[in-house]
C-alpha cells in the first residue's frame, strides 16, 4: 500500500495512492495514519490528485557512511589522516545525526535548497524509513539529504550547518508500507541531474550495498532517545556525485526506486 498526502481544501490530507489516483482520508494527515493505521479504512473513492510531501515528520534523522562509497569519498575528500569516515563505516555504532523537522522538508516538485554560502552542494539520494508505533518500520520513502559538502569539508564541526538549513530534505512521493515490501535490501535506486533539459549526471546503487541492517539503524537512533511516531530516518547515500556535478540553481534532481516512485526537485538558492 502507498500512503501519502494531497492538498485538499488547502490542507495536507492523507491519501492512499492506487492506480495513479488518490483515496483521501478526510480530516487526517499521513502522520495521523502512521499513529493509527485503522484510519486507512476511512479512505474515500479515488480522485485525481498529485502527491505532496508524504508526511510532516515531527523529526528527521540521518545516518551517514552506511555505504562504502560514501565513507571512502569523504575520507579522500577531507584528507582525514585517521580515516574518520572509514571508522564509522566499520564500527558497530553508526553515524546518526539530526537532520531537522518538517520545517526543513520539501515535497515532490518543490524546490530543494542551495545555501547562499555554499559553492558545492550535492544531492544525497537515500532510502528513508518512517518509524511507526513501538519503533517499528512503518514504511519506506525516497529522500534527498541535500548537503553543502564544501562546508562539511572545511571542518567536521560544521557538519550541522552543511546538513540542516531551509529545504535541505526532500521526501516523497509516497510511503510504501513495510507489509508490501518483500526485501528492502533489493531496491534499485537511480539518480539523474539535469540542466536546461540535458542530463549531466547519472548514478545508481542497489540497497544490497547498504552496510547496515535497517533495524540496527533504528535501534541506534532510538537508544536512550525516545523519538515520536512518524519520525523519518534517512539511511545514508550510496550515490556520490562528482565535483563537476555540484548543484546550480535550476538544476533538476530526480531520484527513483520503481516500487516507490520518483522524487524530482529543482535546486534554488535559500538564504
Ligand atoms: O558524515 C557525514 C554525512 C554522511 C551522510 O549523510 C551519508 O553518508 O549519507
Ligand atoms: Mg546523507
Name the percent of the chain lying above pLDDT 90: 95
Interatomic CA distance for residues 181 and 98, integer angstroms: 27
Q: pLDDT tens, 99-123?
A: 999 999 999 999 999 999 999 999 9
Note the pLDDT of residue 85.
93
Torsion-angle region of residue 33: left (phi > 0), alpha (psi -120 to 50) or beta? alpha
* Cβ burial, residue 128 (10 Å; 0-12/13-18/19+): buried
Q: Indicate which residue's Cα is closest to atom 7 of ligand 1.
A: 64
Using alpha carbons only, give the angle 95, 225, 140 rounded to the nearest 5 degrees: 65
Place of cell 530543494: 112
Q: What are the pLDDT digits (tens) for 246-260?
A: 999 999 999 999 999
Given this model, what pLDDT does residue 79 score? 81
Give the ligand 1 atom nearest the CA of 145. Answer: 6
Question: What mean pLDDT do residues 144-161 have?
Answer: 97
Average pLDDT over residues 127-156: 98
- What nine digits make up the cell of 115? 545555501
* Ligand 1 pocket at CB < 6 A: 62, 64-65, 70, 74, 95, 124, 145, 236-237
The C-alpha cell of 61 is what? 534523522
Q: What is the mean pLDDT of residues 17-36?
A: 97
**What's the mean pLDDT in 193-218?**
98
Res 167: pLDDT = 98
* Cell digits of residue 76: 579522500
Measured in Å, residue 63 CA sits from the centre of ligand 1 at: 6
Whether the per-residue pLDDT at 4 is higher than 90: the answer is yes
Ligand nearest to the Cα of 152, by number: 1
Question: Which of 67-76, 154-163, 175-184, 191-200 has the weakest average pLDDT?
Answer: 67-76
Index of the ligand 1 atom closest to the CA of residue 159 = 2
Q: Which string of b and e fits 70-91 if b means at least 16 CB within 10 Å?
A: bbbbbbebbeeeeebbbebbee
pLDDT, tens digit, 9 for 90 and up, residues 46-83: 999 999 999 999 999 999 999 999 999 999 988 877 78
Compute the mean pLDDT over every residue in the chain, rounded to the nearest whole number: 97
Give the closest residue (by CA) to ligand 1 atom 4.
64
Q: For residue 9, what pLDDT is reported? A: 87
Q: What is the pairing mode between strands 125-131 and 121-122?
A: unpaired
3-state SS of the chain is: CEEEEEEECCEEEEEEEECCEEEEECCCCHHHHHHCHHHHHHCCCCECCCCECCCCCCCEEEEECCCHHHHHHHHHHHCCCCCHHHHHHHCCCCEEEEEECHHHEECCCCEEEEECCCCCEECCEEEEEEECHHHCEEEEEEEEECEEHHHHHHCHHHHHHHHCCCCCEEEEEEEEEHHHCCCHHHCEEEEEEEECCEEEEEEEEEHHHCCCCHHHHHHHHHCCCCCCCCCEEEEEECCCCCHHHCCCCCCEEEEEECCCEEEEEEEEEEC
Work out the average pLDDT over 196-217. 98
CB atoms within 10 A of CB 41: 7
Mean pLDDT (whole number) for 156-183:
98
Ligand 1, atom nearest to 71 Cα:
8
- Indicate the top mutation candidate among 61, 71, 77, 124 to test ligand 1's pocket, ranked by most ligand atoms within 8 A of CB: 124
Kindly identify the ligand whose nearest atom is closest to the C-alpha of 68: 1
pTM above 0.95, yes or no: yes
Ligand 1 atom at minimum distance from 234 CA: 9
Whether residue 152 is predicted with pLDDT greater than 80 in this model: the reply is: yes
For residue 219, pLDDT over 80 is answered with yes
Percent of the chain with pLDDT over 70: 100
Amino acid at each position: 500500500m502507498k500512503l501519502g498526502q494531497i492538498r485538499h481544501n488547502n490542507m495536507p490530507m492523507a491519501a492512499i495512492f492506487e492506480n495513479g489516483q488518490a483515496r483521501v482520508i478526510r480530516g487526517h494527515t499521513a502522520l495521523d495514519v502512521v499513529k493509527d493505521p485503522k484510519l486507512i479504512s476511512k479512505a474515500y473513492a479515488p480522485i485525481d490528485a498529485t502527491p505532496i510531501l508524504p508526511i510532516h515528520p515531527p523529526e528527521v534523522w540521518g545516518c551517514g557512511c552506511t555505504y562504502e562509497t560514501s565513507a571512502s569519498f569523504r575520507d579522500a575528500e577531507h584528507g582525514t589522516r585517521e580515516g574518520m569516515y572509514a571508522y564509522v563505516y566499520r564500527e558497530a555504532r553508526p553515524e546518526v545525526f539530526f537532520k531537522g523537522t518538517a520545517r526543513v522538508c520539501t515535497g515532490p516538485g518543490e524546490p530543494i535548497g542551495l545555501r547562499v554560502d555554499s559553492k558545492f552542494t550535492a544531492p544525497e539520494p537515500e532510502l528513508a524509513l518512517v518509524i511507526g508505533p513501538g519503533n517499528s518500520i512503518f514504511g519506506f520513502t525516497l529522500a534527498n539529504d541535500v548537503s553543502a559538502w564544501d562546508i562539511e569539508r572545511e571542518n567536521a564541526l560544521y557538519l550541522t550547518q552543511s546538513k540542516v538549513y531551509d529545504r535541505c530534505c526532500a521526501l516523497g512521493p509516497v510511503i510504501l508500507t513495510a507489509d508490501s515490501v518483500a526485501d528492502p535490501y533489493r531496491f534499485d535506486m537511480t539518480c539523474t541531474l539535469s540542466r536546461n533539459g540535458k542530463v549531466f549526471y547519472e548514478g545508481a546503487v542497489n540497497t544490497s550495498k547498504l552496510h547496515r541492517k535497517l533495524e540496527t539503524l533504528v535501534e541506534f537512533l532510538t537508544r536512550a532517545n525516545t523519538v515520536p511516531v512518524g519520525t523519518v530516518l534517512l539511511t545514508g547515500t550510496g550515490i556520490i556525485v562528482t565535483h563537476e556535478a555540484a548543484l546550480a540553481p535550476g538544476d533538476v534532481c530526480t531520484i527513483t526506486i520503481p516500487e516507490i516512485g520518483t522524487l524530482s526537485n529543482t535546486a534554488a538558492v535559500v538564504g
